[in-house]
Amino acid sequence: MAMSTIEKLYQRYRVSIFRYLHRMGGDYHLADELTQETFCRAFVSLKGFRGESTLSTWLFGIAYYVYTGYLRGRPMERNLPLKHDIPDANNTNDPARHLEKAENWRLVRLALDKLPAEYRTVIILRELEGLSFEEIGAILGKSPATARVTLFRAKQKFHQLYKQLAGDDHD
């Protein structure tokens, strides 16, 4: 039996979409739920896909709107648990180094969580997923130049938040 188009899309892009949503929210179960919602919406919208962007860009765009819709419905739940992103202590023989890495990662996640969803999205899609500014612009409904400026501003804000959090922890 041949796989349907949506099954092929799911098999090809589910890991990338899940990884993006997990990085956005920090919660495995939420990312799984929102990934399913993304592909349900893609299935419903598939006939309307005009090919003006790549399928991956289209799917990331749906995932972005699914996630921001989730946030609008639950504004107090924005900062989610980070336990799934802390480096594994078994990967190092140096406990002090592990604690340092874990603390650094905790600060990175906290700083990311404090960013607006659009800023988190551009950082994650560019720096972690390796998407082009053209793809990011298409996902956000902006020009590539605006996506580039948004990334610059997002990084500035991230660094500012990270420094504040690192300073708060050492005061």
Strand, coil or helix: 80: coil
pTM of the model: 0.75
Tokens describing residue 31: 């990312």
- Measured CA to CA, the distance from residue 108 to residue 165 in angstroms comes to 9
- Measured CA to CA, the distance from residue 171 to residue 169 in angstroms comes to 6
Tokens describing residue 78: 């924005």
For residue range 34-55, list pLDDT tens digits in order: 999 999 999 998 888 888 888 8
Could you tell me the CA-to-CA distances from 77 to 50, 74, 94, 122 in Å, in that order?
35, 6, 35, 21
The amino acid present at 143, given as its one-letter code, is S
**CA 133, 135, 141, 143 torsion-angle sign:** positive
CB atoms inside a 10 Å sphere around CB 7: 12
pLDDT profile of the chain (171 residues), mean per 10:
76 95 91 95 87 89 94 61 45 66 83 93 93 95 96 96 82 47
pLDDT at position 9 is 87
Architecture of domain 5-169: Up-down Bundle (1.20)
Domain coordinates in residue numbering, the chain: 5-169
Per DSSP, the residues of 128-149 read IS---HHHHHHHHTS-HHHHHH
